[in-house]
Amino acid sequence: MKKEVLKKLIAEPGKKHKVSDFKTDYTAGLKKKDAKDLLQENIERLAELQDKLYAHDRFAVLVIFQAMDAAGKDGTIKHVMSGINPQGCQVYSFKVPSAEDLDHDYLWRIYKCLPERGRIGIFNRSHYEDVLVAKVHPSIVLNGKLPDINKTEDIDDKFWEKRYRQINDLERHLTENGTIVLKFFLNVSHEEQEIRFMARLEDESKNWKFSSADLKERTYWNDYMKAYSDMLSETSTENAPWYVIPADNKWFMRYAVGQIIGDRMEELGLHYPILDEAAKLDIENAKKILSESKEPEKEKKEKK
């Protein structure tokens, strides 16, 4: 599929966005079978690109997933990254901050998990929880024991503007120092979420995925959509734009994510290290030594 089609999924930087402006069932006219075939091609492509990323040792790739519950974060990571060498990939899931996390600034736990050069880091939820869940439930901010924030009334528009700026500063710093930041908002509809919740309830093998807290958060749907709209508007930048991925059809979602990651990594011009003349000579000498070496004699069995 042409890159121009996938570029339509970008929340254009510098503009105001509403989640409702993005379709949740968009498939770009692609058929399910074709999307699955293309996903397999992308899995193989990503495996090669990750190998080159590791050998090239100049860039790191950070892939961020944000979404409402049951949008498909875990499944997308599983399917898209299935061909990746585990040695060159790290997956982190950010849940409720620990006591240690809360004794630091809200970005501290993110710093610890950033991928080193040559690796792909995947965040299942991320620092954006602090402008999403925390914005819907401002009392969460109080747990951070911030100066001048003593009650929820102290958390005003300027507070959130500051957080957006801090996040943008972090991501600009990362991209300017060789970390490619790819951000995916998996956009699932209210109706599709209900279907997936019901599937978890009716299938015993999926019961473990369900939490009563999910239903509670679902009652805040409109508040979350407002928070996500603000997130897209304030933090989709030229350095690190948001891709709003239609999530009602899992097969298209997985294809689109794999395609975008692969296309972006290809733009880096990754390649295996080019050996200098001395290294090439060492290779030739090693070949010669191996080809001339004799197989060691097998030990003779002692006669009884």
Reduced to 3 states, what is the DSSP secondary structure of residue 8? Answer: coil
Is residue 62 scored above 90 in pLDDT? yes
Give me the chain's average pLDDT, please: 94
**Structural domain boundaries of the chain?**
3-275
Q: Report d(CA 160, CA 289) in Å as an integer.
A: 65
Residue found by looking up tokens 């709003």 in the block: 244
Which CATH number describes the domain made up of 3-275?
3.40.50.300
pLDDT tens-place string over residues 18-45? 999 999 999 999 999 999 999 999 999 9
Confidence at residue 185, expressed as pLDDT on a 0 to 100 scale: 99
Reduced to 3 states, what is the DSSP secondary structure of residue 200? Answer: helix
Q: Are 201 and 207 in contact (CB under 8 A)?
A: yes
Strands (E), 119-215: 120-124, 179-187
Give the mean model confidence (pLDDT) for residues 58-84.
97
Q: Are 115 and 87 in contact (CB under 8 A)?
A: no
- With a CB cutoff of 8 Å and minimum separation 6, the contacts of 27 are 35, 246, 249, 252
- Taking the mean position of all CA atoms in its chain, how far away is CA 159? 26
Among 231, 118, 110, residue whose Cα is nearest residue 179: 118
pTM over 0.85: yes
Q: Are 284 and 206 in contact (CB under 8 A)?
A: no
pLDDT tens-place string over residues 162-220? 999 999 999 999 999 999 999 999 999 999 999 999 999 998 888 888 888 889 999 99
Confidence at residue 165, expressed as pLDDT on a 0 to 100 scale: 99
pLDDT tens-place string over residues 254-296? 999 999 999 999 999 999 998 888 988 898 999 988 888 766 6
pLDDT category of residue 297 using cuts at 50, 70 and 90: low
Pairing of strands 10-11, 242-246: antiparallel
Reduced to 3 states, what is the DSSP secondary structure of residue 65? Answer: strand
